[in-house]
Amino acid sequence: MFPGVYSCSMGNFIYYLIYGFFRAMALLPLSALYLLSDLFYLLAYYFPGYRKRVVFENLNNSFPEKSPEEITRIAKRYYRHLGDLVIESIYLTGMGEEEIGRRVRYKNPWAVEKHFREGKHTAAVLGHYGNWEWMCGFPLQTGYKCVVIYRQLKNRIFDRLMFDVRSRFGAIPVPMKMAIRKIYELDRQGVPTITAFMADQTPPREKSLYWTGFLNQDTPVYLGTERIARKIDMAVVYFWMRKVKRGYYEFEFIPLFDEGAATSEEEITNAHVKLLEKQIRETPEHWLWSHRRWKIKR
């Protein structure tokens, strides 16, 4: 029932306990679990609230042109979506291949398949938008070896849990510091990869090397995606995700560059930052507003 074989320890016991609880919850229909999402919304927004100061500060700074009433409507819709995101992430622990294939549609997979046929690596950029965790089903749709770059969690139990969930359908989760090494390893084996990079992580202060305008604010941005894409000459696409309705999402691949090595400095970064901002402005409630994205100042 559980992935892997581990030695007995308190940490393993807690891991099994949490994973087992999530798997038990995932046996329920998703429609029933959404009742818990509705309860989460009431508790997170009203009693006493989850990071409401952060959410409202981020929204007000990002959309100074919007009225207080509009900001409040976006915040409420965000908390409803956040509840769905929590429930859907738990449900992912028991979701089968057929179901995730039915709930997540890839609108134009040929946009990345052409690079696969050429044996070329592809960098896929996305943000914490919609339900990015359900992207882990993409290996079922492509011949690519799918690599997911992630920032390791400080809590080892939840880090291990997220690793196992993200790899259920064949994706390869790789910590940031090992990204280039892993891609080179697969390249030496003659295996073309599509590598997912989160574009909106907050970089550590000592790595805040590039600042740009994003959502009306001076924002530090990782240059890691660009540096890897240029170094390995990866094609670059943007993963545009839409929430069609509860429990159903659609991905569209937006081609940015066919030859990463041919781009100028910051060209890739500026391109994906602008697309993420456009996506957020289109439907703002589906982005992760409770994240302290602007905690680092220039």
Give CA–CA dist 187/191, Å, rounded.
5
Per DSSP, the residues of 245-271 read ETTEEEEEEEEEES-GGGSPTTHHHHH
**145 pLDDT above the threshold of 80:** yes
Using DSSP, state whether 283 is helix, strand or coil.
coil
The model's pTM: 0.91
Predicted local confidence at residue 4, as pLDDT? 43
Task: Report, in angstroms and rounded to the nearest whole number, the Rg of the chain calculated over CA atoms.
Answer: 19
| Gap between the Cα atoms of 113 and 111, Å rounded | 6
Q: Which of 289, 247, 295 is nearest to 45 (CA)?
A: 289
pLDDT in tens, 180-223: 899 889 888 988 899 999 989 888 776 657 899 999 999 999 88
Q: C-alpha distances in angstroms, 252 versus 66, 115, 128, 166, 181?
A: 28, 16, 15, 20, 28
Average pLDDT of the residues in 275-298: 94
- Whether cis (ω within 30° of 0) applies to the bond prior to 48 is yes
Cα distance between residue 201 and residue 221, in whole Å: 8
More confident residue, 151 or 288: 288
> Which pLDDT belongs to residue 208?
56
- The whole-number pLDDT of residue 11 equals 76
Query: Are the beta carbons of 40 and 195 closer than 8 angstroms?
Result: no
| Each residue's pLDDT tens digit, 148-174 | 998 888 888 888 988 999 999 999 999
pLDDT tens profile 85-112: 999 999 999 999 999 999 999 999 888 8
Report phi then psi at 122, rounded to 5: -130, 135
pLDDT at 1 over 60: no
Percent of the chain with pLDDT over 70: 96
Strands 248-257 and 235-245: antiparallel
Q: What is the pLDDT of residues 32-91, one digit of tens each?
A: 999 999 999 999 999 888 999 999 999 999 999 999 999 999 999 999 999 999 999 999
